[in-house]
Amino acid sequence: MSVRDPLHKIISLDHLLKTIAQLKTEHKKIVTTNGCFDLLHWGHISYLWQARNLGDCLIVLVNTDESVRGLKGKLRPIQNQEARLMQLAGLESVDFVCLFSESTPEAVLAQIKPSIHTKGGDYDPDVLPETAVVRKGGGRVQCLSLEPGFSTTDLVRRILQAEANQ
């Protein structure tokens, strides 16, 4: 059995749009999600499998380091965008990963026009900024269940508590 190099999954927006155009001619259902994916954990893995099972191709839109700092503060991201892209590309559930520099992915989603855009169950699709864009493109937003006790913020907090208690 040969091991596939995940680097082919890390793709520029221009290349991604060409790939999506081809997939759509084949009537493939495109699923997208987005996030920082700062410290990959079981919650992410479970969520990404749920998203992948909704369609034929899962595209993960990843916040750049600069946009993560704007969202999460100056101490984040913990891992740089190259490491985060490589980790996601190494997952079997993920077909493509692409960086975006805005705080929310509306501009990219307007170009992709996914069949389904997924978010975690802690979001309300009716108040997500990307919902209007996805619906305008003919798609829908679906919130997926989260694994209780798994979030990057909680993981960082537990690590810091463990370090302080030593």
pLDDT of residue 21: 97
**Pick the residue with more confidence: 15 or 125?**
15
pLDDT of residue 4: 63
- The domain locations on the chain are 29-164
Write down the pTM of the prediction: 0.91
Fold of 29-164: Rossmann fold (3.40.50)
- Identify which of 4-8, 48-52, 117-121 has the greatest average pLDDT: 48-52
pLDDT of residue 2: 41
| Tens digit of each residue's pLDDT (9 = 90 or more) over 59-77 | 999 999 999 999 988 988 8
Structure tokens at 31: 């699923």
Label residue 163 by pLDDT band (50, 70, 90): confident
Please identify which residue in the block is written with the tokens 């996601």. 88
pLDDT of residue 119: 93
Beta carbons of 16 and 98 less than 8 angstroms apart: yes
| Tens digit of each residue's pLDDT (9 = 90 or more) over 121-154 | 788 888 899 999 999 999 999 999 888 778 887 8
pLDDT of residue 89: 97
With a cut of 70, say whether residue 3 has pLDDT above it. Answer: no
Q: Which residues of 39-67 are buried (b: 16+ CB within 10 A; e: fewer)?
A: bbbebbebbbebbbeebebbbbbbbbbeb
